[in-house]
Structure 1
Amino acid sequence: MAGHSKFKNIMHRKGAQDKKRSNLFSKLSREITVAAKMGTPDPDMNPRLRLAVNTAKAQSMPKDNIQRAIDKASAGDDENYEEVRYEGYGPGGSAIIVEALTDNRNRTATAVRTAFSKNGGNLGTEGSVAHGFERLGYIEYGPEAGDEEKVLEAALEAGAEDIQSSRDGHEIWTAAEDLHAVAEALEKALGEAKEVKLAWKPNLTVELDEKDAGVLLKLVDALDDDDDVQTVWGNYDISDEVMEKLDA
């Protein structure tokens, strides 16, 4: 993770996900199917589906897999998933938000609670940590999209609220309700984004030392391993120096 942006640390350890492609594709497929069921199967007419498809493409999910997930919704299968959010506390005073899609709330709640308790955390009640985050739209471009000035100009013209650029690329933030429109405008100006999604952005971050960071990452990995968990967010920050020690 050395050299990656703070937000990449805050989101989750992406390298761990990359080693579990089939698990990741399964989660992406579930989101696509749910999004298609909630609206129309046409991404151009269904903003949530468009975001799900864009995210799947950014993760190099094959087009056939994406289409099968959409067709599954159109076929009217019996699987019904509901969105559930869990909130809790990790080591070092960190706050964690877990988003899940589940067909069995009891199973998912038990698995999430177990992951927290076995990895230095405590599951809280709904709303216990969400007040420390903002629900925003997030769009990511790599450095190949252009320099900071070019991307900033395109982002402002598209209606984005904030942009953070580094050698690793560009992170663009929007109001949640503007995400689809901003992403569409940026795609015309800069090409396809690496990632487009709704995010929980912390108002303040907590820097973790090596000990707490090691435990925290085990917690995040345990949550990511659960099939029902879609995304894990947190307010923690792990320095490049600490990440290098943990990855050594």
Structure 2
Amino acid sequence: MAGHSQYKNIMHRKGRQDKIRSKIFSKLAREITVAAKAGIPDPSANARLRLAIQNARAESMPKDNIERAIKKASAADGENYETIRYEGYGPSGVAVIVEALTDNRARTAPVVRAFFAKYGGNLGETGSVSFMFVHVGEIVYPLAKTSADAMMEAGIEAGADDVTSDGEHVVTCAFESINEVSTALAAKFGEAESVKLVWKPTVMAPITEFEKAESLMKLIDALDEDDDVQHVFTNADIPEEIAAKLNPE
């Protein structure tokens, strides 16, 4: 289980497993608030806010929650969040990138560092592993939306760099182009299942021991449960037989 599909499997594992709505909504709301504060509270004129709202809708976040998160951006006593990226190595030398939104980096950094240490990894400096990834836009549609050929044609016409249709349609583009590409695809196919900026690995790290893979998943789960952590990406390459044991159906 290698390459892009495995990276997506790991990245989204927790979201698929338990869907703890309050936790998901809390993180989505934080991103909406930060996006609204970074620009203006109008999604038609604020690309980051538009993407945040689209992903909130994809998770069935109620409209009232979305509007409340936008209004929070203009509150005089609102928190001031900053985006921080942490990088390090997990078990078996797997590269891990953690994106966080925090109002107190003195609180977040020690927690992230402790998780790495607890599960056999170590937190590094910024840039220590990101050179093994590319920062790209990723637009996902269900396979039932259209044919692989139609999605490929539309993606290329919209300016995408790559389109794959294995389990789902995944359109990849330069991160600077995500709004233009997603808007063009939405005009043709409707709103996507998700529109996100992701760290996609260019170099994979194989894990051949079940214990190491299990420790990595525990690290990802622990990070994902933290309120300040928004996204976790890795370059783990886990064989099918080990992946099946980690996540039995």
TM norm structure 2: 0.93
Specify the alignment match of 1:163 in structure 2: 163
**Are 1:242 and 2:246 counterparts?**
no
Question: What does the per-residue CA deviation read over 1:22-57, in whole Å, with 9 as the maximum and x for residues that have no partner?
Answer: 111101100000000010111110000011111111
**Are 1:233 and 2:240 counterparts?**
no
Pair 1:59–1:220, CA change in 2 (3 A): same
Summarize the alignment of residues 73-222 of structure 1 with structure 2, pairs less than 5 Å apart: 73-166=73-166, 168-209=167-208, 210-222=210-222
Summarize the alignment of residues 14-53 of structure 1 with structure 2, pairs less than 5 Å apart: 14-15=14-15, 18-53=18-53
CA contact (8 A) 1:155 1:163 kept: yes
Pair 1:15–1:83, CA change in 2 (3 A): closer
State the one-letter code of the partner of 1:103.
Answer: D
**Identity rate, percent:** 57
CA contact (8 A) 2:7 2:234 kept: no
Aligned residues: 245
Pair 1:64–1:17, CA change in 2 (3 A): farther
Return the alpha-carbon distance in structure 2 between the equivalents of residues 236 and 70 of structure 1: 36
TM norm structure 1: 0.94
Query: Deviation of residue 13 (structure 1)?
Result: 1.4
Query: Deviation of residue 207 (structure 1)?
Result: 2.5
Return the alpha-carbon distance in structure 2 between the equivalents of residues 200 and 100 of structure 1: 14
Return the alpha-carbon distance in structure 1 between the equivalents of residues 75 and 15 of structure 2: 34
Query: Deviation of residue 241 (structure 1)?
Result: 2.8
Q: Secondary structure at the match of 1:74?
A: coil
Return the alpha-carbon distance in structure 1 between the equivalents of residues 53 and 18 of structure 2: 18
CA contact (8 A) 1:16 1:221 kept: no
Return the alpha-carbon distance in structure 2 between the equivalents of residues 21 and 144 of structure 1: 26
Structure 1: gaps spanning 5 or more residues: none
Q: Secondary structure at the match of 2:165?
A: strand
Q: Secondary structure at the match of 1:44?
A: coil
CA contact (8 A) 2:14 2:221 kept: no
Pair 1:247–1:10, CA change in 2 (3 A): closer
